[in-house]
Amino acid sequence: MGLSKRPSWGGRGERGFTLVDVLVSLAVIIVLIAILLPSFNMVRESARRVKCASNMRQIGLGLHMYAQQSNDLLPSSVYLPSWAGGPRGGGPRGAGPGDGGWMPELMDTVRTDAALFPDRSWGQWDGLGLLYARGFLAAPAVFYCPSHPGSHPFERYASLWNQDQGEIVSNYQYRGIGPDGSRRLYRIDSEAALVTDMLRSFQDLNHRGGFNLLKAGLAVTWFEDAGDEVAGIMGRAGGSSSQAVADAWFRLDGPSGGSSSTDGSGGGN
């Protein structure tokens, strides 16, 4: 019987990977990653934007439930003017920052520092924070955008939500009144913007290229910031700026300007 020929391993006819082959393969992989990475980032940001819109929709439901139990009034804030239910800032179109101390850039605050407002009759919860304090929204994470790139992520404030004091800042800017100054939700034009992504500073803008908007009629829409107009307003302002936020709200209302309803009601009523 003849012996079967054993297969040859590593003979001259066989060729393994060379260093050049490995480097070429790595180069191809790197190029593919570079091509696909922007797409992955876009998909991830789109998912985060949808989550952000979901948060805003829940805030909208909370505002409507709050108004139904509060004689149609939106939650008040210390940063609104006295005629609108707060001692400091805010105002209708035509009124500017400085009129009564309007501080719209701080309307992302949901609980104020007790040292700043020690005599508040309704406690330290403020603006959108009253939705949490009164049980309309139970999850603190709803007040935070998953895309937020600035210095106010949920993790920074998570432990404070179950405590009795300490300033808490959210990722959503609350307007508190309609463009005409009305705090009565059902007298505000349904197309007027009431809540949007954070406007405290350019660095705190939740998204690039646009803003999620909650309108008075409960619709949540995406505002495409063509030419980075709103972002540019915030960028030119640098840090917190009342005038920049006031200008941003005017732009976010869109071409109609969020005009008030035809019943002519306005002011703090």
For each of the chain's 269 residues, which pLDDT tens digit applies? 555 555 555 555 556 668 776 777 777 777 777 676 666 666 788 899 999 999 999 999 999 999 999 999 999 998 886 656 544 333 344 444 445 557 899 999 999 987 776 666 556 899 999 999 999 999 999 999 999 999 999 999 999 999 888 999 999 999 999 988 889 999 999 999 999 999 999 999 999 999 999 999 999 999 999 899 999 999 887 767 888 998 999 999 876 444 333 333 334 44
DSSP state at residue 73: B
Can you tell me whether residue 211 is helix, strand or coil? strand
Q: Across-strand partners of 196? A: 173, 213
Is 126 within 8 Å of 78 (Cβ atoms)? yes
Prediction pTM value: 0.77
Q: Across-strand partners of 195? A: 174, 214
Sign of CA dihedral 63, 117, 203, 142: negative
Residue 194 phi/psi, 5-degree rounding, is -110, -30
What are the b/e assignments for 124-162, b being 16+ CB within 10 Å?
bbbbbbbbbbeebbeebebbbbbbbebebebeebeeebe
Beta strands in the chain (DSSP E): 109-111, 168-169, 172-174, 193-197, 210-215, 220-224
